[in-house]
Structure 1
C-alpha cells in the first residue's frame, strides 16, 4: 500500500499548462524622449520592429493624443537608430538600445521602458514596472553594458503621465512616463514578431503561418512593388490610348476642312501632325527591351 501511495504521488498530473507550449514574451512598450538641437523635447512610442528600413512610431501631438507615422530606421550594434522629424521639418537621429533579455523575460503588460537623454547627451534606459505607491515607484536603470540597477524614486501622477526624478551619472534627470492609450498598446501587441518555439513541439496554426510569412517578407515586398509597377504601367497605357484618340480627333478637326480628305496633302499633313506634334509633346512609345509588360 505504501508503494502504491508513492506511485500515485509521483504520477504526473495532466492538469495545468501544456508542457509543450512556451509562454510568449510580453512586448515591452518603449518610449523615447527625443531632444532636438534647439532643446525641444518630443516623446515618441515605438510600434513593432523595423520593416523595409522604416519604423512605425506614435508621436505625442498638441491635442493630448498621438499621431502615427513611419520614420527611417536601421539596426546597428548600438541598437536601433531612428531619424525622427519635428513639426518644423528638421530631423533628429536617436539611438534606441535593446531591452536587456532579463527585463524582456519578466516583462508584464504594465512594464514600460523610457529612453531619456542625460545632460551629457547620453541615452539612459529606464524600466518602470507597475504604478506608484506612496509617492514612489521601483525602476530599473540599464547602463551602456546592459547591467541593471534597481532604484526607488519619487513619483508624481500628472495629466501627462507619471513624473519621476531619476538619478544618473550626470545628476538627476526628470522623466515623464506617458499613459499609453489602450489602442496603441494593442497595436504593439499585434506587431510583436513571432519567433520559432525552440525546445518544444507545439505551435498554433496562426503562429506557424506567421513564422512562414516572416521568411518571405522580402520576397512579398518585392512582388508588391512589381505589382504596383505593373498597375502604374497599365494606367499609363490607358492614358496613352486616350491621348492618341484625342490627337486623332484634333487632327480630323484641324485638317479636315478641305473637303477632299482622302487626297494629299491633307491626309499626310494630319498624320505628320499627330506623330510629330501632338504625340511628341505627350509621350514616346517605349522600346521592347525597356517595356516591362513585354518582358513578361
Structure 2
C-alpha cells in the first residue's frame, strides 16, 4: 500500500458516473495507514461504559429522551473510509443522476479529489455520529476511530481514558439530538435535496445552503455544549489543548482544511457553542434542549449571533 497504489486506483477510475466510488475507497485506503484496533476485552468494555455513561448523563442533564443507535463501532481508519464512501455515494447520487455526460478525464479528477479528501479526514476524525441520511430505514450509527483518538491523546499529552470518554460525550450528544428530534433527519434530507436539485439545474439555492449551515451550526454547537457540561470530569484542560491544536496546525493541514471546508465546520462549532452557552447560562442545558422540540425552535441565522432573540421567541 502507498502512493503508487493510490495513484493507480485513481487513474484507472471507470464507470459511467462522475465519480468512481470503488476507486475512491481503494485510493484513500492505499494512502492511509489503517492503524490498529487490537483492543483487550477491558479496553472494549471501557468504550462501551463511556457510551452508556454518556447516554445516562446526557439524558439527565439535557432532559432529553433518546436511545443509542444499534450500531456502535470501534473502527480503524479504513473502516471509517469505507463507511463514509458509502455515505458520500448515497448523498451525491441525486446529483450524479442528473449528469448525463461526463468526460473520463473529469471522472479521474473527481475521483482523485474525493480520495484525497477522505484520506485526510480518515487520518483526523476521532468519532462520528452517522444519521445515515438518505438511507433506507431509520438505523443510525456511532463510530470511534481508535487509532486517531490514541494519536491525538498522545499529541496533546493527555490521559487517553479521559480523552476517549470526553469524545464519547460529544458523539452521544449527537445521538441525543437526532433521537429527541425525529424530524431532524428528514429536515436535513429535504434541505439537502433542494440544494442538490438546484445544483443539478445549474443554479445555487442560497436559501437551502443557508438553512443547512444554520441547522448544522445548531447540531454542532449543542454537541459542544453537552460535551462539556454533561461530562462527569474536569474538561477545561482538554478544551484548551484541543483549541490550541486547532490553531497550531501546519501549513499543509491548514490548506487541506480550507479546501475541504473545515474552516466553515470550525466556525459552526464556535458559533453554535457560543449560542448554546448563552442559552444554557440563562436556562440551563435542559432549557437549551428545547431547540429539538420542533423545527420552528431551531435558531435563525440572526438568533445564532444574538441568543436573546431566541430566548425571547422560544418561551420556557
Asked if these proteins are the same fold (TM beyond 0.5), I'd say no
Task: Please state which structure has a larger fraction of its residues in helix.
Answer: 2
Task: Please state which structure has a larger fraction of its residues in strand.
Answer: 1
Normalised to the residue count of structure 1, the TM-score between the two structures is 0.20
Normalised to the residue count of structure 2, the TM-score between the two structures is 0.19
Kindly name which structure, 1 or 2, has the bigger radius of gyration based on alpha carbons: 1
